Amino acid sequence: MRVVLYRLATLVTAAALGSVGGGGSLGAQPAFRGRLPVTDAMRPFVAIDRALIALIDVTVIDGTGAPAAAHQTVIVRDGRIAAVGAVGAIAVPSGALRLERPGYTVIPGLVGLHEHSYFGGVKRVTQMSTSGPLLYLAHGVTTAMSAGSMLPYQERAMKQAIDAGRIPGPDFLITGPYLDGAATSSTNARPLSTPAEAQRIIAYWASEGATWVKVQGRISRAMLRVVIQSAHARGLKVTGHLCSITFAEAAAAGIDALQHGFITASDYVPGKQPDICPPENMRIQSTIDPGTSAVQASIRRLATSGVSVVSTLAVYESFSRDRFRLDTAAMAMLDPEVRREVEANHAALGAEGGLTVSPALLKNMMRWEYDFVQAGGLLGAGSDPWGTGFLPGFGNIRNFEMLREAGFTPEAAIRIMTLNGARILGREREIGAITVGRQADLVLVQGNPAVNPQDLYRIVTVFRAGVGFDAQALRKAARGLVGVR
């Protein structure tokens, strides 16, 4: 939620909102590395560590958008999905661990595209190098792109810790520091003054393992083109939380993913000046009707341009006093002192001068995203954790409910959170759906979220590359740690 942070920093002066965007990723599909190796550090969290597993008589929502299918069997072998089909049509191999789970649902592991590793929006920004990986994984996120870092070396170290098995977590794609134009007012972004500077910094972060680059809302069109060229030349993708540049301009420049959707689209602001983030962008945005023919035409152009959009509805809801309620289970994850600060932030929602998102604006955001998808656009989702009480993992699940509210079917909402995300990352042949041959990133849920959206909070087991993690154990280990480590 770098965007929001930026807003909080500027709201007293009612300065223009900056934008904070997400990153891009490698175009090449990484090779399957086999079943996830279980280290001693991971073992306390591992519920299922078997090469051959049969999930029997479950409902499957496979991530492709196909209707939920009841009474299915899913066979996992050596970290991959070996078979999926109706009970009776799929033979359970001898030696398989038989998990008969009628009344449960299996969905693909979530692919999150705005999953910060730091906790901002509070006085002292801290890295969530322990709590973040645990909470994302506990809530079904098996692949996460960070979409901007305030503490990029800590984020890099966190990724290395996950990759080395020192802590359980999602496959993390890192972005390095936020990049912004020279006019940035943020001290958390790297301002870019010259093309050579942009090229040098992107080359450096590529060498440090970043696979996406995230730009912010004060960058110029010319500098964005340099960033995109430099990133693409190294196989990195680019995402942004825009403001100074319109969505149409960024799409024409070849940006890969636009974060946040309608609320950050400056395309519709009357009198928009090139390369300038319009002052009071959000206030203006709340008065724009996404149903007008001009906005609808822009949605259709964007949808066919090939650029993707990342939905972050739930974090904006956390800025709506009318809607957002602090979640007791989520609050238990916070350090007590940070929790008091978060509760104060929540109590201050709607205060004069503060950032608020009205229910009407949320409705407009939902409509814009729904229409974008109906027009053929590729929509993914991310959480964007923030000090309003919006935490890793919990936010990813809340997005499901909000996408449902936006009008998407349960299957379409799951697709946005899984296969679409994989496509945006360029990994759709490996992850994002429950089909034979894909990596066994799976979420076992008690109940059926296609019938009752809240059931998606009842995650029991999260499989990453065929290894099943105990969601409750992951959550328990994260208690009290958000805001500390």
Give the interface with Zn ion as residue ranges (CB under 5 A): 1-2, 20, 384
Structural Rg of the chain based on CA atoms: 21
Residue showing tokens 């007012």: 185
Kindly report the CA angle at 362 between 359 and 364, in degrees rounded to 5?
A: 115
Q: Please report which helix (H) or strand (E) contains residue 97, including its range.
A: strand 97-100
**Whether the Cβ atoms of residue 134 and residue 471 lie closer than 8 Å to each other:** no
Q: Which is nearer to Zn ion, 149 or 199 (CB)?
A: 149
- CB of residue 445 to Zn ion, shortest distance in Å: 27
- CB of residue 260 to Zn ion, shortest distance in Å: 8
- CB of residue 205 to Zn ion, shortest distance in Å: 17
For 184, other C-beta atoms within 10 Å of its C-beta total 21
Q: Is the dihedral of CA 189, 194, 200, 203 positive or negative?
A: positive
Q: Which is nearer to Zn ion, 63 or 382 (CB)?
A: 382
Single-letter amino acid, residue 457 = Y
- SS3 of the chain: helix, strand, coil, percent, to 5: 35, 20, 45
Q: Which is nearer to Zn ion, 2 or 427 (CB)?
A: 2
- CB of residue 293 to Zn ion, shortest distance in Å: 32
Q: Which is nearer to Zn ion, 1 or 338 (CB)?
A: 1
Q: DSSP readout, 44-93?
A: GGEEE--SEEEEEEEEE--SSSPPPEEEEEEEEETTEEEEEEEBTTBPPP
Residue 210 DSSP one-character state: -
Q: Helix or strand or coil: residue 353?
A: coil
- CB of residue 8 to Zn ion, shortest distance in Å: 12
Report which of 20, 82, 134, 147 is spatially closest to residue 425, judged by C-alpha positions. Answer: 147
Q: Which is nearer to Zn ion, 211 or 298 (CB)?
A: 211
Q: What is the rounded CA–CA span in Å between residue 161 and residue 166?
A: 5
Q: Helix or strand or coil: residue 348?
A: coil
Give CA 43 to chain center in angstroms: 27
Q: Is the dihedral of CA 133, 136, 139, 141 positive or negative?
A: negative
Report which of 312, 366, 315 is spatially closest to residue 345, judged by C-alpha positions. Answer: 315
In the bound complex, which residue of the shown chain has the CB atom lying closest to Zn ion? 2
Residue 421 DSSP one-character state: H
Report which of 114, 110, 47 is spatially closest to residue 384, judged by C-alpha positions. Answer: 114
- CB of residue 386 to Zn ion, shortest distance in Å: 8
- CB of residue 256 to Zn ion, shortest distance in Å: 16
Q: Which is nearer to Zn ion, 1 or 357 (CB)?
A: 1
Q: Which is nearer to Zn ion, 60 or 145 (CB)?
A: 145
Read off φ and ψ for residue 380, nearest 5 degrees: -110, -170
Q: Which is nearer to Zn ion, 2 or 139 (CB)?
A: 2
Q: Which is nearer to Zn ion, 22 or 453 (CB)?
A: 22
- CB of residue 147 to Zn ion, shortest distance in Å: 5
- CB of residue 120 to Zn ion, shortest distance in Å: 8
- CB of residue 117 to Zn ion, shortest distance in Å: 11
Q: Which is nearer to Zn ion, 20 or 459 (CB)?
A: 20
- CB of residue 259 to Zn ion, shortest distance in Å: 7
- CB of residue 105 to Zn ion, shortest distance in Å: 30
Q: Helix or strand or coil: residue 399?
A: helix
Q: Which is nearer to Zn ion, 382 or 468 (CB)?
A: 382
Q: DSSP readout, 127-156?
A: E-TTHHHHHHHHTTEEEEE---BSSHHHHH
Q: Which is nearer to Zn ion, 2 or 101 (CB)?
A: 2
